[in-house]
Amino acid sequence: MSTAPHYEIDPETFWADPYPDLARMRKEVPIAFVPQLGATVFTKRDDIFTCEKNIEVFSSDQPGGLMNVLMGQNMMRKDGDAHLAERKQYYPAVSVRTVRDVWKQQFEGHAEAILDALEPAGAADLVEQYAMPLSAQSLKSMTGLVNMRFEDMDAWSQGMIDGIANYIGDPEVEIRCHAATAGIDAAIDEMLPVLRKSPNQSLLSVMLEAGMPLDNIRANIKLTISGGQNEPRDAIAGCIWALLTHPEQLAAVREGKVGWQQVFEEYCRWISPIGMSPRRVAQVHEFGGVTFEPEERIFFMFSSANRDEAYFDDGERFDATRDTQKSMPFGAGPHFCAGAAASRSMVAEVALPMIFDRLRDLKLDGEVNVGGWAFRGPLNLPATWTP
């Protein structure tokens, strides 16, 4: 165990709103062991930025980690040459060019179809009826698993997310995670002969064509679904919520003073959809006055880094005019999120401008609940508009 001071949390309170505890930790114990999480938590932006790149000490290779055990070892849980080799085979499907030339048009088609069905209703929960299906339909296209229902894409993503954040060992959560991974494996098996016969630019097809072993492909598809569904879903819903609760900033967007991309970047700083990344200590190391022992669990808290007072004045406030260059919405270093371009395009170039253009007089129609700490976003988004 590290020599870091201990910091106690109430898990339910932390899930409901981790930010008060994170702010206190940044001020009093920026590197702290949290018994309820079984991990030493890093909360300062500079510490995380530095240590995340030190892969010889803070390793992504976690043989006994929940993600490896439940989903297989994907490229996110590898370091060095092993990570780079798989990333090189994976990346052509999600590169900036491919997103621009292939996926953006498909994102637009999915959004148009959803809004065509939604617009006449005049009211909906925009998490369930816009953000979730748009993210899931887009992810079906990108992964190549077009044989899945979008409802299953979302449910299986959530099942895996819950499973890999199940640090208290709830057996029901683990059962749901296993059901999700089995469903994804079955969908992959069904699409393999189709894509071998007719390759395309989807992730499954690109990795197959590159010769990646099938077990690695399965693990990387599950990785993509676990983060690639909830992060855009939560960011789409969250950005809409942020703008509807900050009408002066929505007005600035409509007037062209603030861009949709600025809204997305500031939301991901303010309420980090992916709030944490785990690491394993690979060797004895000292940092920040703390000695770390091999095999310890480390959590880099991006959500805390993105509100660090050293970089963000009044960081608990949503402000789309803010300079967000020092925020870490997609991590840093060699494990910077490969899907960042797709997420930015889906949310900032498609989902936000299209819904605010199509749904006239869009407004909230009830209380919005937000939850989570490893992954965080609106749980509901009741809204009305003029059909």
Q: What is the DSSP string of 249-297?
A: HHHHHHTTSS-HHHHHHHHHHHS-SB--EEEEE-S-EEETTEEE-TT-E
User: How many angstroms separate the Cα of 200 from the Cα of each of 75, 104, 166, 269, 360?
Assistant: 22, 16, 36, 34, 37
- Nearest in space to 329 (alpha carbons), one of 312, 314, 313: 312
Tens place of pLDDT for every residue, the chain, 387 residues? 789 999 999 999 999 999 999 999 999 999 999 999 999 999 999 999 999 989 899 988 766 565 656 666 666 666 777 778 888 889 999 999 999 999 999 999 999 999 999 999 999 999 999 999 999 999 999 999 999 999 999 999 988 888 877 767 788 888 888 899 999 999 999 999 999 999 999 999 999 999 999 999 999 999 899 878 889 999 999 999 999 999 999 999 999 999 999 999 999 999 999 899 889 999 999 999 999 999 999 999 999 999 999 999 999 999 999 999 999 888 766 666 777 899 999 999 999 999 999 999 999 999 999 999 998 999 999 999 999
d(CA 365, CA 129): 15
| Residue at 195 is within a domain | yes
| Residue at 76 is within a domain | yes
Written as six digits, the tokens of 365 are 């129609």
Residue 84 is predicted with a pLDDT of: 81
User: How many angstroms separate the Cα of 260 from the Cα of each of 136, 243, 348?
Assistant: 21, 11, 5
| Residue at 3 is within a domain | no
d(CA 328, CA 153): 26
| Residue at 1 is within a domain | no
- Cα 127 to chain centroid, rounded: 15
Residue 336 is predicted with a pLDDT of: 67
Q: What is the DSSP string of 66-95?
A: HHHHHH---GGG--HHHHHHHHHHHGGGTS
> How does DSSP classify residue 271?
S
- Nearest in space to 386 (alpha carbons), one of 118, 86, 110: 118
| Residue at 231 is within a domain | yes
Residue 363 is predicted with a pLDDT of: 97
d(CA 344, CA 328): 14
CATH code: domain of residue 76: 1.10.630.10
- Radius of gyration over alpha carbons of the chain, in Å? 20
Residue 352 is predicted with a pLDDT of: 98
| Residue at 90 is within a domain | yes
CA angle 380, 377, 159 (to 5 degrees): 90
Written as six digits, the tokens of 61 are 């290779």
Residue 42 is predicted with a pLDDT of: 98
Residue ranges making up the domain that contains 134: 11-386
CA angle 347, 46, 336 (to 5 degrees): 40
Residue 292 is predicted with a pLDDT of: 97
Q: Model pTM?
A: 0.92
d(CA 170, CA 248): 43
What's the start-to-end Cα distance of the chain, in Å? 59
Residue 82 is predicted with a pLDDT of: 76
| Residue at 6 is within a domain | no
Residue 77 is predicted with a pLDDT of: 67
Residue 72 is predicted with a pLDDT of: 64
CB 136 within 8 A of CB 153: yes
Total tally of structural domains belonging to the chain: 1
Residue 253 is predicted with a pLDDT of: 97
Residue 330 is predicted with a pLDDT of: 80
d(CA 251, CA 212): 48
Give the β-pairing of 297-300 and 39-42.
Answer: parallel
